[in-house]
Amino acid sequence: MTVNMTTNEELRSRLRRVGIWMPPPAVTGQAPETVGQAIEKAGFTSVWVGGGNAKPADFAALRGLLAGSERLIAAPGIASIWAWQPADIRETAGRLASDFPGRFVLGLGVSHPPLVAQLGQQYARPLAKMEKFLDELDHPADHRGAGSWELPPVVLAALGPKMLELSARYAGAHPYFTTPDHTARAREILGHAPLLVPEQAVSMATDLAAGRAAGRGYAGMYLKLPNYTRNLKDYGFTDDDIADGGSDRLIDAIIPSGPVAVASRVREHLDAGADHVVVQPLAGDGGFALDQLGGLADALAGLLR
């Protein structure tokens, strides 16, 4: 295997403290190059793109984000391992890492049963599936030359202890839809060296009711996915909290509202052991709000320097 020379410490230094999480750039109606430029100009150091990243075209969008910026680090947050063969994603990711040295991170995850069913597959033994996928990624058969491509740093979408332990063997973990309490526990499991990059959705609305409405618009889909709801229950939330779009207690814990609360929550993740927090600014309906990058940067100014 060709060994990647980007160490965790080097990546940690480049990432600094705050980046952006977003859905595929197409939802903004702007070219990925334009989006990447805007994120970097606002002062953020990374962009993590959701949506499963199941096709080569999705990685082309990541390429656009990188091409439109000078130093921005890009990552799929995450690429579903049910949608790829290890050799194929190694080659696709390796090309990006080669063309943009030190600026690409490969985020992998086991996704969720309903999404895997849409791919025509059965969601079974996800941890074993990930272990097998990573082993083949590490030791590719010489399939179309995939083994000649340097493997970029790999982080795993991780909520539970076993997936976090597996993440510690690679570059680190990228938890999603979690609280600072989860971040603290994840750091304990990972140890010091691996990267810990939680996502944090936020509403910049100063009116609490408007912020909670945005939060519910965002959270509705995730509260139907058992991986997330099981994890929430592990951290003290109940079925009543999860029902009907989320209780006020749950929404306030997962999606802070207003500049002061947003800055406080990001700091809580960092204080709990996160290396880098990727923030997802929400519009009033819970969708991604590219136009709020400036206000978000102002709120987090002390963390962007």
Percent of the chain having pLDDT more than 70? Answer: 95
Length of the chain, in residues? 305
Tokens of 124: 């079974």
How far is the C-alpha of 195 from the C-alpha of 211, rounded, in Å? 30
Say if residue 148's pLDDT is above 80.
Answer: no
More confident residue, 146 or 304: 304
- Per-residue confidence (pLDDT) for residue 120, from 0 to 100: 83
- Per-residue confidence (pLDDT) for residue 115, from 0 to 100: 82
- How sure is the predictor about 144, in pLDDT bands with cuts at 50, 70 and 90? low
Is cis: bond before 255, omega within 30 of 0? no
Residues 297-302, mean pLDDT to the nearest whole number: 97
Say if residue 146's pLDDT is above 60.
Answer: no
Residues 19-46, mean pLDDT to the nearest whole number: 98
* pLDDT digits 0-9 by tens, 243-279: 999 999 999 999 999 999 999 999 999 999 999 999 9
* pLDDT digits 0-9 by tens, 222-251: 999 999 999 999 999 999 999 999 999 999
- Per-residue confidence (pLDDT) for residue 141, from 0 to 100: 67
- How sure is the predictor about 5, in pLDDT bands with cuts at 50, 70 and 90? very low
- Per-residue confidence (pLDDT) for residue 216, from 0 to 100: 98
- How sure is the predictor about 6, in pLDDT bands with cuts at 50, 70 and 90? low
CATH superfamily to which 8-204+257-304 belongs: Luciferase-like domain (3.20.20.30)
Say if residue 110's pLDDT is above 50.
Answer: yes
10 Å CB burial of residue 305 (0-12, 13-18, 19+) is exposed
Say if residue 1's pLDDT is above 50.
Answer: no
Question: If phi over 0 gives left and psi between -120 and 50 gives alpha, with beta otherwise, what is residue 67?
Answer: alpha
* pLDDT digits 0-9 by tens, 199-228: 999 999 999 999 999 999 999 999 999 999
Say if residue 61's pLDDT is above 90.
Answer: yes
Tokens of 111: 């996704």
Residues 133-150, mean pLDDT to the nearest whole number: 75
Question: 102-106, 121-125, 178-182: which has the minimum mean pLDDT?
Answer: 121-125
- Per-residue confidence (pLDDT) for residue 143, from 0 to 100: 53
- Per-residue confidence (pLDDT) for residue 113, from 0 to 100: 84
pTM to 2 decimals? Answer: 0.95
Say if residue 147's pLDDT is above 60.
Answer: no
Burial 110-149 (b: 16+ CB within 10 A, else e): bbbbebbeeeeeebeebeebbeebbebbeebeeeeebbeb
Say if residue 18's pLDDT is above 60.
Answer: yes
Q: What angle in degrees, to the nearest 10, is found between the helix axes of 56-67 and 32-41?
A: 40
Give CA angle at 210 (208, 214), nearest 5°: 115
- How sure is the predictor about 142, in pLDDT bands with cuts at 50, 70 and 90? low
Average pLDDT of the chain? 94
